[in-house]
A = this chain, B = another copy of it.
């Protein structure tokens, strides 16, 4: 799993740079623009779900678009200029063109006492409001007086936009990959996810594939709910492992949020890959969930899915502020996420239960697999291969054998190859839950 991916890390980082300035929300033209740029890389299909559509327990909200927003003091000085930073405007703010006192204005301002220079990310998707995010240091300088508030937005019947791409394999059984595209200018949460998924799509397309891969780019929460309302049966029938990609561009340790009971095939795959790296990682309980695994793993939905991150949502100081910018993601950070995910796909593609065809140990010598001069230490020369055959009893897949033997799963791949060449292995299907 050593990196040959320096180029691809830089390309993902550059794609994040391209997408960064766009003002996204859970609906609107920012989402469409983002998806169209991704479409230049991989052939995703855009879908539109009309406002008012019932999606499971939810209703698709009206579409929101914004052109400009700011407020002026009595001297005409401009504050919270949307054109300077799109985090200044509360997402889904209704249009406003009014003059009001500082006192009244202040009830619409949001700041972060712990990060006085940062703009907070604020939203009001399901209740009509307006508001500005403002660094605390600026807010404290506002003088009493009248302010003119201007928000040039619409909140109208329209559509929610998402995109997907199904890359077929030999089997209908599929690997499900999801990420979200609903946040304004923030880099790790969220643009790292769409950038990684785009480049994983390119990689998948080039590989021989037993399995079908489904890539989904949706606005958070309402997006997965809409997607599930349209595809639940197919997903429940076909998905063997799913990965929600979120906050995958920073340089901190890898982590994953386990599925509801932590026992799905996706849990086993990512845990095996991260253990095989033989460095630390963070495993979070489903109680620490925060992203779209909330929907994909809910009772009755029950997709076998984990959320993969470097620093999980909510655990890093820049999260949901203007500090989550291009400085906290890096080409090397992206490369790492890319390596872990492609190692997961490799494992899923190669994994099977194996049964050794001989009774008792195979004679390795006659097949050139054993250095057959017995000296004091020779017993251990082909130890891994013999250990593999000892546990290749038809009950264990590669994940189980890697765990039993305490060896990285990828060290088993050449052993499987050698034993297959010698016609010593019977391959048996995995029964996914």
Contact indicator A127/B372 (Cβ below 8 Å):
yes
Instruction: Tell me which of B356, B376, B389 contacts A320 (CB under 8 A).
Output: B376
Q: How many angstroms between the C-alpha atoms of A404 and B287 in the bound complex?
A: 9
Which residues of B lie under 8 Å from residue A294 when comparing CB positions?
Answer: 360-361, 386, 390
Residue of A120, A221, A374 with most partner-chain B CB within 10 A: A374
Q: Count of chain A residues with Cβ under 8 Å from any Cβ of B?
A: 63
User: How far does the alpha carbon of A358 sit from the alpha carbon of B392 in the complex, in Å?
Assistant: 43
B363 near A57 with CB under 8 A, answer: yes
Q: Assuming the A-B contacts A365-B127, A390-B299, A393-B299, are A121 and B376 also in contact, with contact meaning beta carbons closer than 8 angstroms in the complex? A: yes
Decide if A359 touches B228 in the complex (CB within 8 Å). Answer: yes
Query: Which of B112, B375, B386, B390 contacts A376 (CB under 8 A)?
Result: B112
A181 within 8 A of B: no
A319 within 8 A of B: yes
Q: In the complex, are the beta carbons of A387 and B129 less than 8 A apart?
A: no
A432 within 8 A of B: no
Enumerate chain B residues within 8 angstroms of A375, measured Cβ to Cβ: 110, 120, 122
- Tell me if B287 and A319 are in contact (CB < 8 A): no
B129 touches A373 (CB 8 A): yes
A361 and B298 contacting across the interface, CB-CB below 8 Å: yes
Q: Does A253 contact B (CB under 8 A)?
A: no
Which of B127, B298, B355, B372 is A373 in contact with, Cβ under 8 Å?
Answer: B127
A225 at the B interface (CB under 8 A): yes
A57 near B260: Cβ-Cβ < 8 Å: no
Query: Which residue in chain B gives the minimum CB-CB distance to A260?
Result: B390
Q: How far is the CB of A202 from chain B (nearest CB, A)?
A: 30
Assess the B393–A360 pair: CB atoms within 8 A.
no
Distance of A403 from chain B, by nearest CB (Å): 12
A-B contact pairs, 18 of them (CB 8 A): A57-B360, A58-B360, A120-B375, A123-B374, A124-B373, A126-B363, A126-B365, A126-B366, A126-B372, A127-B373, A221-B361, A289-B390, A294-B361, A298-B356, A298-B359, A299-B355, A299-B390, A300-B393
